[in-house]
Amino acid sequence: VQLQASGGGLVQAGGSLRLSCAASGSIFSIESMGWYRQAPGKERELVASITTADSPNYADSVKGRFTISRDNAKNTVFLQMNSLKPQDTAVYYCNVLVLVAPGSMEESWGQGTQVTVSS
């Protein structure tokens, strides 16, 4: 399974960005899709995830500002980021859990996209 992420960039505090990540390859079904981030000197952390049942889960630090959604027909997940803060600066990674065949699950990571929020 390959992931292609896009949408990162530089934005001023209070601004917005939208990340997208498209999955391709041998996909029977996608169980969950999500976004993680890693700031310099910090561990990678979950930002948001969404399951097949469209049940979203958010880190407390982004609740009310970020929205995760998915387009099942295009195997794509989006992260709408509003009211961005300098502490949101990080490399954002797309993550998917895919059923590649009955009984065979595979986890894949995207290449990472830089989000920089200036104060």
Rounded to whole angstroms, how far apart are CA atoms 44 and 76?
A: 22
Mean pLDDT of 17-34: 94
Note the pLDDT of residue 37.
98
Confidence of residue 17 (pLDDT cuts 50, 70, 90): very high
Q: Most confidently modeled of 11-20, 93-102, 104-113?
A: 11-20
- The tokens 């990678």 sit on which residue? 44
- pLDDT higher than threshold 90 for residue 52: no
- Asked if residues 50 and 78 have their Cβ atoms less than 8 Å apart, the reply is no
